[in-house]
Amino acid sequence: MGLAQIVYTSQPFAFDEATLGNLLVIARRNNTRDDISGALICRRDIFVQMLEGPEAALEATFGRIARDDRHLNITRHLVRPVTRRMFGQWSMLHDPAQSWLWPEAAVRDGVPVGVDGAAICEVFRMLAIQAKSDQVKPDQD
């Protein structure tokens, strides 16, 4: 089955470390089972997630995530077939508070105007390069 990537953003409903910790444990457990990899950029004002894996598993995972009431305004920016994964080493890489990403004022209604799926993929591409050079472990928070 074909490999694909999905990128979406959402707004955390109530951002706290305990919720986030639980979420990552479940995400990593499920993703290992389902052959899904990816990364989650977490800020108190926005989640930006890349999910990658076999198409059917990817849609099933995104379907569950989209129904999750721990976040709002789930917006899918991109889905594309790929030949290689960006985050093959991580069932879900956690990337806290990317202050260099977008200013908080610009994120009030989701991603800033003019930012599209390709631009977000570029952010993840940089993140993957950084995580590989930092040798971030599969389940490191």
Ligand X SMILES: Cc1cc2nc3c(=O)[nH]c(=O)nc-3n(C[C@H](O)[C@H](O)[C@H](O)COP(=O)(O)O)c2cc1C
List C-alpha distances in Å: 110 to 12, 72, 81, 107, 120.
Answer: 11, 10, 24, 5, 12
Residue 107 contacts ligand X per CB under 6 A: no
Applying the rule CB under 6 A, the residues between 38 and 57 that interact with ligand X are 38, 40, 47, 49, 51
The phi, psi pair for 13, rounded to 5°, reads: -75, -55
Stretch that binds ligand X, among 26-34, 76-84, 107-115, 131-139 (CB under 6 A): 26-34
Count of residues near ligand X by CB under 6 A: 17
The Cα 64–Cα 87 span in angstroms is: 21
Residue 93 contacts ligand X per CB under 6 A: no
The number of beta carbons lying within 10 Å of the beta carbon of residue 19 is: 13
Residue 26 contacts ligand X per CB under 6 A: yes
Enumerate binding residues for ligand X (CB under 6 A): 23, 26-27, 30-31, 38, 40, 47, 49, 51, 61, 64-65, 68, 70-71, 92
